[in-house]
Amino acid sequence: MIKGFQGISLIDYPGHVASIIFVGSCNFRCPFCHNPELVLPERLKLLPDIDEDEIIEKLKKRKKMVDGVEITGGEPTLYRNLINFLKRLKEEVQIDVKIDTNGSNPGLLQRILDEGLCDYVAMDIKSSPPKYSKACGVNVNLEAIKRSVEIIKEKAPDYEFRTTVVPCFVEVEDIPLICEFLGKVKRYILQRYQKGELVDPSFSFEPYPDSVLQEMLSKIECAEEKLIR
């Protein structure tokens, strides 16, 4: 269920000029999510579907300008035709693919990586284990999340784990717990929280000042590369 397309982005796929494909629907209800139109069913149904053929043609026309495509959401692994669509991207467009995921579907993620259909995985780590379900707005299977982490570390050609630092859901003391959960990783990113339209408007907080973000960054000991984005 493809719901959106952005022709060019210079910031979403590291090292690439990329197009972005937005997939509708999500199995989480993170109150601080900035894409309510892709998450909430009553809003999602107002967006028209975009045919895969249309996306493929758009990408072919941009081949001289873009060298990557990001598939985000919502949650891309809920897209029933994802495997076949990824195969089309690789065979018909011959382009590097980045997938954003919440890590709730490790089985599909493993299949995607085993079949060489994704070049970069970005997985959201919502908070430390004790706060994970609270941050996601639903009860989360942490074993599935952990399995996805290990699959990505073992099989992804390149990857990042990232946490949006939302006051109340992620505090300084959560960072070491997140690092313990992740184990040694290549790249861990702290994403700045920005106020805006949210899944739950009552969860609108003032973002952390830079001093707190820097303190959080100093607590990260699990990553070869760590940064604030």
pLDDT exceeds cutoff 80 at 44: yes
**φ, ψ for residue 140, nearest 5 deg:** -110, 140
The pLDDT value given to residue 191:
96
Distance CA 193, CA 68 (A): 26
Strand, helix or coil for residue 41: helix
Quote the pTM value.
0.95
Using CA atoms, how far apart are residues 118 and 156, in angstroms rounded to an integer? Answer: 8
Per-residue pLDDT at 197 = 79
Domain 2-228, classified CATH 3.20.20.70, yes or no: yes
* Domain segments of the chain as ranges: 2-228
- Mean pLDDT taken over the chain: 96
| pLDDT band at residue 226 under the 50/70/90 scheme | very high
Residue 160 burial by CB count (10 A; 0-12/13-18/19+): exposed, middle or buried? buried
pLDDT of residue 150: 98
- Closest by CA position to 124, among listed 96, 104, 151: 104
Both tokens of 77, joined, read 């692994």
Of 115, 64, 121, 62, nearest to 91 by C-alpha is 115
Q: Residue 202 — pLDDT band, cuts 50, 70, 90?
A: confident
